[in-house]
Amino acid sequence: MKARILRIAAASVVGLLIAAGIAWWQVDHAQHNVQSSVPIGGPFTLTDQTGKTVTEADFKGKYLLIYFGYTYCPDVCPTELGTMARALDLLGAQGEKVQPLFISVDPERDTVAHLKDYVGLFHPRLVGLTGTPEQVKAAAKAYRVYYNKAPAKDGKPDEYLMDHSSFLYLMGPDGRFLGVYPGGTTADRVAQDLGDRIAG
């Protein structure tokens, strides 16, 4: 009986690994061959960490590296923003052609002042964006981003987590969607891909 359970467990693990590998290939392959019937990206109106209202038009002519997350995120968000910052540093002068954006999915807590302190921890050129719940919802919908407020801890209304998808979105200088870097993609790989695109 134990042997049978172990075989089933092993088969399940192998199946999961294969599925994960296929998913990784599909997303990774999309970086260079974007053929999607579902549009990703589009107009947005948000507020940056200085209190200025901005739209996608303010970044026209630059590659956009966009991450949707929130400042109270305990692990994934700071990790991915760190990857973004490191990739920009690795690009050197080429990095000036890339605009990094951090769009909050937690407008309730991510105020302009809070965003200003937060983005400064990662990179001097990182722009933090927030807005009304409606504005954030519209931006997330345009990029097909999932997010949802999890139940508060111990009944404390301000202590909650946000479930959200975790990708670095890459948009071209013309505003066209170019692909995504899945969570866990190394800074070296992001920088190499971006560098090739900028040079090419």
- Give me the mean pLDDT over the 165-175 stretch: 95
Q: What is the CATH number of the domain that holds 52?
A: 3.40.30.10
Q: Are residues 102 and 45 in the same domain?
A: yes
Q: Burial code of 61-77, b = ≥16 C-beta within 10 A, e = fewer?
A: eebbbbbbbbbbbeeeb
Q: What is the domain range of residue 25?
A: 1-30
Number of domains into which the chain is organized:
2
How far apart are alpha carbons 125 and 160 in whole angstroms? Answer: 29
Q: Are residues 59 and 3 in the same domain?
A: no
Give the pTM: 0.81
Position 157 confidence tier, pLDDT thresholds 50, 70, 90: confident
Question: Is the per-residue pLDDT at 9 higher than 90?
Answer: no
Q: Computed from CA positions of residues 187, 117, 113, 157, in that sequence, does the dihedral angle turn out positive or negative?
A: positive
Question: N- to C-terminal Cα distance for the chain?
Answer: 59
Q: Are residues 16 and 47 in the same domain?
A: no
Question: Is the per-residue pLDDT at 3 higher than 60?
Answer: no
On whether the CB atoms of residues 84 and 69 are closer than 8 A, the answer is no
Q: Are residues 78 and 159 in the same domain?
A: yes
Q: Are residues 61 and 19 in the same domain?
A: no
Q: Are residues 48 and 5 in the same domain?
A: no
Q: Are residues 105 and 13 in the same domain?
A: no
Write out 89-132 in H/E/C secondary structure: HHHHHHHHHEEEEEEECCCCCCCHHHHHHHHCCCCCCCEEEECC
Q: Are residues 17 and 71 in the same domain?
A: no
pLDDT tens for residues 56-107?
999 999 999 999 999 999 999 999 999 999 999 999 999 999 999 999 999 9
Q: Are residues 4 and 44 in the same domain?
A: no
The pLDDT, as a whole number, for residue 187 is 97
CA angle, 113 as apex, 112 and 116 as ends, to 5°? 85
Q: Are residues 129 and 191 in the same domain?
A: yes
Q: Are residues 43 and 15 in the same domain?
A: no
Q: Coil, strand, or helix at residue 84? A: helix
DSSP-derived pairing of the beta strands 162-164 and 63-69:
unpaired
Q: Are residues 116 and 193 in the same domain?
A: yes
From the number of C-beta atoms within 10 Å of its C-beta (0-12, 13-18, 19+), residue 173 rates as middle
